[in-house]
Amino acid sequence: MAEAHQRGIELFAQGQYQEAIGCFEECLRQAETSEIWNDWATAQFASGRVWEARQGLKRALQLNPQNIQAAENLRRLVALAGSPQECSGENQPKQEPQRGGKEPVCSAATPDADEELYQRAAKLRSQGEFRAAADLLEQVLDLRETSPRWREWASLQLALDDLAQAERGFRRVINLNPQDTSAMANLAVLLEYLGRYEEADSWANSCSEGVLNQQRTAVENLLQLVGRRKPIVDELLEDIRTIPSEDPSLPPAMIRAIRAMRFDSGYFVEKCLERLSKLRGRAFSRALQALEMKVETDYRLSIVLGCYYMQAEDYETALRHLRSACDQNPGDLFAEGALITCSRRQAARTGASSEFEGLEAYLAASFCETPWHHLEISWDGNTFLCCPSWLPLWVGNSRMQSLEEIWNSDFAVEIRKSILDGSFRFCSKVHCPRIAGRTLPQRTSNVPAGERTPISAFGRSSEFPTRVSGGPGKLVLAYDRTCNLACPQCRRNFHVAGRAEQESMDRDYLPLVLHAAQNAETLYLNGAGETFASKHSRHLLSLLTREQFPQLKFLLISNGQVLNERAFREFDLFGRVQSIQVSADAARQETYRIVRRGGDFQRLLSNLAFLDDLRRARGEKYRLELSFVVSSLNFRDMPEFVQLGRKFHVDSILFTIVRNWGHLSLAEFEKLNVPNPAHPEHQEFLRVLESSELSDPIVDCGSVAPYRRPAGRRDA
Ligand code: SF4
Taking the centre of ligand 1 as the mean of its atom positions, its distance from the CA of residue 440, in whole angstroms, is 9
Predicted TM-score of the model (pTM): 0.67
Cα(364) to ligand 1 centroid in Å equals: 13
pLDDT at position 583, please?
A: 93
Task: Read off the pLDDT of residues 594-647 as tens digits, 9 standing for 90 and up.
Answer: 998 888 999 999 999 999 999 999 999 999 999 999 999 999 999 999 999 999
Distances (CA, A) of 307 to 265, 290, 327, 339: 12, 16, 16, 9
Query: So what's the pLDDT on residue 323?
Result: 92
- Whole-number pLDDT of residue 461: 56
Distance CA 555, CA 552 (A): 10
pLDDT band of residue 592 (cuts 50, 70, 90) is very high
The C-alpha atoms of residue 391 and residue 370 are separated, in whole angstroms, by 11
Ligand 1 centroid from CA 433, angstroms: 8
Burial (Cβ within 10 Å: 0-12, 13-18, ≥19) of residue 68:
exposed
Whether the link from the prior residue into 676 is cis, omega within 30° of 0, is: no
Q: 395: Cβ below 6 Å to ligand 1? A: no
Q: Is the CB of 77 under 6 A from ligand 1?
A: no
Average pLDDT, the chain: 85
C-alpha–C-alpha distance, residues 231 and 185, integer Å: 15
Q: Ligand 1 in contact with 17 (CB < 6 A)?
A: no
> Is the pLDDT at 363 greater than 50, yes or no?
yes
Residue to substitute in 429, 432, 461 for testing ligand 1 pocket (most ligand atoms within 8 angstroms of CB): 432
Q: Is 140 in the pocket of ligand 1 (CB under 6 A)?
A: no
Whether residue 386 has its Cβ less than 6 Å from ligand 1: yes
Taking residue 523's Cβ as centre, other Cβ atoms within 10 Å add up to 23
Q: Amino acid identity, residue 605?
A: L
Reported in sequence order, the residue ranges of 22-63 that DSSP labels E, i.e. its strands, are none
Please give the number of the atom of ligand 1 that sits closest to the Cα of 440.
7
* Bridge partners, 375 (sequence order): 475
Query: What is the Cα–Cα distance from 401 to 531, expressed in whole angstroms?
Result: 25
CA distance 605 to 162: 78
Best mutation site among 333, 359, 368, 374 for ligand 1 pocket (most ligand atoms within 8 Å of CB): 368
Residue 657 Cα to ligand 1 middle (Å): 16
With a 6 Å cutoff on the Cβ, whether 584 touches ligand 1 is: no
Residue whose CA lies nearest to ligand 1 atom number 2: 432
Give me ligand 1 centre to Cα 370, in Å. 6
Out of 12-26, 194-208, 313-327, the most confident range is 313-327
CB of 368 sitting under 6 A from ligand 1: yes
- Determine the average pLDDT of the residues in 61-70: 81
Q: How far is the CA of 395 from the centre of ligand 1 (A)?
A: 14
Query: Does ligand 1 come within 6 angstroms of the Cβ of 390?
Result: yes
Q: Find the range with the poorest average confidence among 80-84, 589-593, 705-709.
A: 80-84
Which phi and psi angles does 545 have, rounded to 5°? -75, 155
CA–CA distances in Å: residue 490 to residues 101, 484, 495, 584: 76, 13, 11, 13
Tell me the per-residue pLDDT of 122-155, one tens digit each, with 9 for 90 and over: 888 888 888 889 988 988 888 788 888 999 999 8
pLDDT score, position 5:
86
What's the 649 CA to ligand 1 centre distance in angstroms?
Answer: 28
Atom of ligand 1 nearest to the CA of 371: 5
- For residue 365, report the distance from its CA to the centre of ligand 1, in Å: 14
Rg (CA), the chain: 40
- The amino acid present at 338, given as its one-letter code, is A
Q: Tell me the one-letter amino acid at 290.
A: A
The Å distance, Cα 462 to ligand 1 centre, comes to 17
Distance 575 CA to ligand 1 centre (A): 29
299, 330 Cβ separation under 8 angstroms: no
Q: Assess whether the C-beta atom of 476 lies below 6 angstroms from ligand 1.
A: no
User: Does pLDDT of 197 surpass 90?
Assistant: no
- Distances in Å between the Cα of 453 and the Cα atoms of 164, 376, 450, 457, 538 are 79, 19, 7, 6, 28
Residue 78 pLDDT grade (very low, low, confident, very high; cuts 50, 70, 90):
low
Task: Return the SS3 of 375.
Answer: strand
Residues 6+ apart with CB under 8 A from 45: 53, 73, 77, 106, 108, 109, 113
Q: Quote the distance between the C-alpha of residue 589 and its chain's center.
A: 40
Query: Using H for helix, E for strand and C for coil, what is the string for 330-350?
Result: CCCHHHHHHHHHHHHHHHHHH
Helices (H), 82-205: 84-87, 113-126, 130-143, 147-159, 163-176, 181-193, 197-204
DSSP alpha helix (H) spans, 426-573: 433-436, 453-458, 499-519, 535-543, 565-570
Q: What number is the average pLDDT over the span 51-67? A: 83
Q: Is 333 in the pocket of ligand 1 (CB under 6 A)?
A: no
Q: Residue 611 and residue 568: Cα distance in Å, rounded?
A: 10
Amino acid code (one letter) for 292: E
User: How far is 589 from 686, CA to CA, in rounded Å?
Assistant: 23
Residue 653: closest CA among 702, 705, 594: 702
Ligand 1 centroid from CA 577, angstroms = 24
Largest Cα span, the chain: 137
Q: Which atom of ligand 1 is nearest to the CA of 391?
A: 1
424 lines ligand 1 (CB under 6 A): yes
450 CA distance to ligand 1 centroid (A)?
14
Residue 367 and residue 462 in contact, taking contact as beta carbons nearer than 8 Å: no
- Looking at this protein, which amino acid is placed at residue 553? K
Predicted confidence (pLDDT) per residue in 89-133, tens digit? 333 333 333 333 333 333 444 446 677 788 888 888 888 888 889
Q: 374: CA distance to ligand 1 center in Å? A: 10
Does residue 370 have its Cβ closer than 6 Å to ligand 1? yes
When mean pLDDT is compared across 76-80, 199-203, 255-259, 584-588, the lowest value belongs to 76-80
Q: Does residue 371 line the site of ligand 1, with CB under 6 A? A: yes
CA of 431, closest atom in ligand 1: 1
Ligand 1 neighbourhood includes 595 CB (under 6 angstroms): no
The pLDDT score that the predictor gives to residue 109 is 44
pLDDT of residue 68: 77
Distance in Å, CA 427 to ligand 1 centroid: 6
Mean pLDDT, residues 535-556: 93
**Ligand 1 contact, 372 CB (< 6 A):** no
Query: Is the minimum distance from the CB of 432 to ligand 1 under 6 angstroms?
Result: yes
Distances (CA, A) of 708 to 429, 437, 659, 704: 16, 10, 18, 7
Task: Return the ligand 1 atom nearest residue 426 CA.
Answer: 6
Centre of ligand 1 from the C-alpha of residue 367, in Å: 9
pLDDT, residue 82, reads 43
The Å distance, Cα 416 to ligand 1 centre, comes to 10
Percent of the chain with pLDDT over 90: 46
- Check: CB of residue 182 under 8 Å from CB of residue 210: no
Using alpha carbons, select from 247, 415, 430 the residue that is nearest to residue 338.
430
- Residue 196: closest CA among 283, 276, 96: 283
Contact 706, 714 (CB under 8 A): yes
**Ligand 1 within 6 A of 435 CB?**
yes
Are 300 and 258 in contact, with CB atoms under 8 Å apart? no
Q: Answer yes or no: is the C-beta of 461 below 6 A from any ligand 1 atom.
A: no
Nearest CA to ligand 1 atom 8: 368
Nearest atom of ligand 1 to the alpha carbon of 432? 2
**Residue 391 CB less than 6 A away from ligand 1:** yes
Residue 169, pLDDT score = 94
pLDDT band at residue 270, thresholds of 50, 70 and 90?
very high
The alpha carbon of 434 and the centre of ligand 1 are apart by a number of angstroms equal to: 7
For atom 4 of ligand 1, which residue has the closest CA? 386
Helices and strands counted in the chain (H then E): 33, 10
What residue's CA is closest to ligand 1, atom 6? Answer: 427
Cβ 373 under 6 angstroms from ligand 1:
no
Residue nearest to atom 7 of ligand 1 (CA): 368
Q: How far apart are CA 535 and CA 628, in angstroms?
A: 26
Higher pLDDT, 65 or 713: 65
DSSP state of 710: P
Q: Is 427 in the pocket of ligand 1 (CB under 6 A)?
A: yes
CA of 391 to the centre of ligand 1 (A): 6
For ligand 1, what atom is nearest to the CA of residue 433?
2
